[in-house]
Amino acid sequence: MQHPVFLNKRSVSVYFGLWALIAGAHFSVFYFIYYLPIEVSLADSLVFNGLFACVGISLWYIVRYSIPDQKNLWNVVFNHVSFLTLTLVVWNGLSYTILSTVFSKNKVYMDLLMVSIPNKIISGIIFYTVIALAYYLFIYYINLQEKVKIESRLRMVLKETELNMLKSQINPHFLFNSLNSISSLTITNPEKAREMVIKLSDFLRYSVSNNTTSFTTLETEMANIRRYLEIEKVRFGDKLVFGFKLDGSCRNHQIPVMLLQPLFENAIKHGVYESTEQVSIEMECEYKEGYLEIRIVNDFDPNAHPRKGTGIGLNNIRERLRLLYKNDKLLRTVVEGTRFTVYLSLPNTDNKG
């Protein structure tokens, strides 16, 4: 850990600037209150405060390697008491020697120098305590900053891990269904099976080339959604109809990668699978007040026996939105007659939590 005084030019200026203020106050007392000559007042101030400024710099190494905790508290106390005692003896002794040598003929000052030793000891204790506490606060601040950085990195790793787990729950469901369909088509319609393999490979290439914490434009995401629906249309034929209505202002809006695919998968699963009639899946979006408002609607047969499901698709989307935007109210669903509607409100990526 770098010495706090020498972090940068500003820290050096602050440290020695404070000592200059203390030295100025010291000089003022001797010159204006004790009426000592200007050279004597200046010398006393510079010697005592200058030497302790040097002591203050060396004190950092005592503090740096004397971090108190329950196991070594007494050792820390002993180290500081020992260094403080040594500091007071050397500081006062050296200052007295220098000043008494230079001003030995000034009896008034020599008497004052001797009498002021107790005050110098008290001021030395105060200086030592303040500097040591400042160093400990600096160490605490640096450790706290490092802890915050580590916790932030851990949260990011945890979030990405959670998102990848959510993603891994979605993709196999679609993959297994598609492979089963391809297996059937290889016998009944090899050409459609080939078409489906090509579309599936393009879809999976997009899926695996992006991680769940990344963002892409709505237009790019919709290109993959169209690819997904075309794969399903190979299986369902005219039974599946889909359409998109996208405002030009929303095409470049950034959204989480692979966020919409589970919604369309859900529409296929609970709409097309169970219905004997043609099922329409529609999507509309518009950009309003900093949010991308998305509406996905699909028909369903309310009299059909519902397919068993765990609700992974919608739950995963809610969880992804909570992790990415720190908001669990960005998705809602509405059932009206034979239509199931999903509403999504996605803020700008600049407004993420």
pLDDT tens for each residue of 113-147: 999 999 999 999 999 999 999 999 999 999 999 88
Q: How confident is the model at residue 310 (pLDDT cuts 50, 70, 90)?
A: very low
Q: Of the spans 2-11, 201-210, 225-234, 265-274, which averages the highest pLDDT?
A: 2-11
| Strand partners of residue 246 | 285
The tens digit of pLDDT for each residue in 42-100 reads 999 999 999 999 999 999 999 988 887 766 788 888 989 999 999 999 999 999 999 99
Kind and range of the H or E run holding 150: helix 117-188
Instruction: Please determine, for residue 150, whether its predicted confidence score (pLDDT) is greater than 80.
Output: no
Closest residue by Cα to residue 84 from 38, 130, 116, 42:
130
What tokens were used for 132? 């040591």
Question: Which of 213-217, 248-252, 301-305 has the least mean pLDDT?
Answer: 301-305
Report phi then psi at 2, rounded to 5.
-70, 150
- Please give the angle made by the CA atoms of 203, 257 and 309, to the nearest 5 degrees: 75
Q: How far apart are CA 242 and CA 206, in angstroms?
A: 21
Full-model pTM: 0.53
For CA atoms 324, 325, 326, 332, the dihedral sign is negative
| b/e per residue 106-132 (b: at least 16 CB within 10 A) | beebeeebeebeeebeebbeebbeebb
Q: How far apart are CA 221 and CA 333, in angstroms?
A: 21
Question: Which of 112-126, 146-160, 233-247 has the least mean pLDDT?
Answer: 146-160
Predicted pLDDT at 74: 86
User: Got the DSSP string for 136-149?
Assistant: HHHHHHHHHHHHHH
Instruction: Please determine, for residue 294, whether its predicted confidence score (pLDDT) is greater than 90.
Output: yes
CB of 250 within 8 A of CB of 220? no
DSSP summary character for residue 238? G
For CA atoms 71, 73, 74, 79, the dihedral sign is positive
| Strand partners of residue 285 | 246, 294
Q: How far apart are CA 322 and CA 329, in angstroms?
A: 8
| Strand partners of residue 296 | 283, 342
Mean pLDDT of the chain: 85
Number of helices (H) and strands (E) in the chain: give both, helices first.
Answer: 9, 7
What is the helix, strand, coil percentage profile of the chain, to 5?
70, 15, 20
Q: How far apart are CA 23 and CA 150, in angstroms?
A: 42
Question: Which of 13-22, 160-169, 314-323 has the least mean pLDDT?
Answer: 160-169
Instruction: Please determine, for residue 18, whether its predicted confidence score (pLDDT) is greater than 90.
Output: yes
Closest residue by Cα to residue 47 from 114, 94, 101, 117:
94
* Residues whose CB falls within 8 Å of the CB of residue 201, separated by 6 or more in sequence, listed in order: none
C-alpha torsion 104→108→112→114, nearest 10: 40
Strand ranges inside the chain, DSSP E: 215-217, 240-246, 254-256, 279-288, 291-299, 331-336, 339-347
Predicted pLDDT at 186: 86
CA distances from 131 to 20, 52, 308 (A): 15, 10, 69
